């Protein structure tokens, strides 16, 4: 009985880990799509170095989908015409 419960817990952990990897991959592909097809159409460029989309890629690759996605969202909220911009790397 005990090994059966341990097996169920282990399987659940594996499924959650796979979904996290899938979410990370989906977010990275969305950002790469934006960089390739949508970003060149914009007239206004990002005042930060690296750009917000590159920052998002680096954050998601380094910290994963949840924390990296939150860091990227916070960066996008800070990116506006009134911001000073400049060098702002992923922590």
What average pLDDT does this structure show over 14-18?
A: 73
Q: pTM score, two decimals?
A: 0.76
Mean pLDDT, the chain, whole residue set: 86
Query: Strands, E, within the chain: which ranges?
Result: 48-49, 86-87
- Return the percentage of the chain with pLDDT > 70, whole number: 88
- What whole-number distance in Å separates Cα of residue 68 and Cα of residue 43? 27
Kindly tell me if the per-residue pLDDT of 74 is higher than 90: yes
Bigger pLDDT: 57 vs 17 = 57
Q: Do 32 and 56 form a contact (C-beta atoms < 8 A)?
A: no
Looking only at the bridges linking them, the beta strands covering 86-87 and 48-49 are parallel
Q: What is the DSSP letter of 39?
A: G
Q: Please give the C-alpha separations between residue 18 and each of 9, 61, 63, 72, in angstroms, as whole numbers.
A: 14, 15, 16, 22
């Amino acid at each position: 009985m005990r090994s059966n419960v341990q097996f169920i817990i282990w399987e659940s952990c594996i499924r959650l880990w796979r979904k996290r990897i899938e979410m990370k991959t989906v977010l990275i592909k969305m950002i790469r799509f934006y960089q390739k097809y949508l970003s060149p159409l914009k007239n206004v460029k990002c005042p930060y170095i690296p750009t917000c989309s590159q920052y998002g890629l680096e954050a998601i690759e380094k910290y994963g989908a949840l924390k990296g996605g939150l860091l990227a969202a916070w960066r996008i909220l800070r990116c506006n015409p009134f911001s000073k911009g400049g060098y702002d790397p992923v922590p």
